[in-house]
Amino acid sequence: MNKQGNTYTILYASVMVIIVAALLAVVSVSLKPMQQANIEIDKKKQILSSVNLEPTTQNAVELYSKHIIDSYVVDANAAKVENADAFTVDVASEVKKAQNERLLPVFVAQLDNGDKKYILPLYGAGLWGPIWGYIAVDADGNTIYGSYFAHQGETPGLGAEIENPTFQSQFVGKHLFVDGEMKPVAVMKVGQKPLNGAEYVDAVSGGTITSKGVQDMIENSLLPYNAFLNSIEK
C-alpha cells in the first residue's frame, strides 16, 4: 500500500482513533471507583461541616462513621420511607417535585458532648449555576446549629462568598419557626427585613442574585420538612 496515498492516511488515522478511544475507555472504567469514592468523601465532608466539624479528606470517613449515628428518608408527613438510602437520594431531582411527593433525607449527628443534630440537605440555583448545602438543626426542631453552602460557578469575591464561614455563621442560632409557623430564614440586603416576620441574615455584598438563590433554596428545600421538624420537637 502506498504510504503516501490518501487511503493509507485515512486507515492509519482511523486505527489510531480506535486505539486511543479504547485506551480512554479502559482508563475511565478503571478510575471510576476512585472517582466515586472521592465524591462520597467530599459529600461526607460537607455534611460534617454543617455541624461545625472540620473534616479533611484523610479523616472524613472516620469522622462520618463516628458522628453520623443514623440516616433515613422521610416523606412530607414525617413518615419514614422504607428501603430508601438518605446518602444516595438525588436532592437535585427531588426539589423539582411537588413538596408532598419528595424523598426527604435526614442525617442524624451526635457531637462529642452527646447532643444530637438533624442535618437536612439543600439544593437550588445561583447566578451562574447550581448551589447546594446543608442545614443542621437542634433537637428542638427549630434552632439552626450550623450550615454549609457551596456552589458550582458563582463569581469569586461576590456570589462565591456563600462558601465563606463568615456568611454561613450568621445562620447559627436563627429559628425556622416564628410563632409556631414555619418561616425559613431569609437572606436580606443590609438594612432590610422580611415582611413575613421571619428571622434573617445579611446578604452577600455584591452578590444579590446568589443571595436570593440561597434564600429560595432554603425555603424550597426546608418547607417539606415542616412535619418532620415538628415531630422532633414533640
* Predicted confidence (pLDDT) at residue 28 exceeds the cutoff of 70: no
Residue 9 has pLDDT above 90, yes or no: no
The pLDDT mean for the chain works out to: 91
**Which comes out higher in pLDDT, residue 32 or 223?**
223
Q: Which amino acid is at 30?
A: S
Closest CA to 94 of 222, 6, 231: 222
Q: How high is the pLDDT of residue 234?
A: 60
Phi-psi region of 78 (alpha: psi -120 to 50; beta: other; left: phi over 0): left
Residue 15 has what pLDDT?
75
In the predicted structure, residue 3 carries a pLDDT above the cut 60? no
Residue 34, by phi and psi: left (phi above 0), alpha (psi -120 to 50) or beta?
alpha
- Chain-centre distance of CA 181, in angstroms? 25
Q: Which pLDDT band holds residue 19 (cuts at 50, 70, 90)?
A: confident
pLDDT at 233 (0 to 100): 67
Report the relative pairing of strands 200-202 and 186-188 from DSSP bridges.
parallel
pLDDT at 34: 66
Is-contact 51 119, C-beta < 8 A? yes
The answer to whether 207 touches 213, Cβ cutoff 8 Å, is no
Report pLDDT digits (tens) over 110-127.
Answer: 999 999 999 999 999 999
Q: How far apart are CA 132 and CA 136, in angstroms?
A: 14
Q: Which of 137, 142, 203 is nearest to 170 (CA)?
A: 203
Please determine, for residue 1, whether its predicted confidence score (pLDDT) is greater than 90: no
Pair type for strands 116-125 and 130-137: antiparallel
Cβ of 173: how many Cβ atoms within 10 Å? Answer: 11
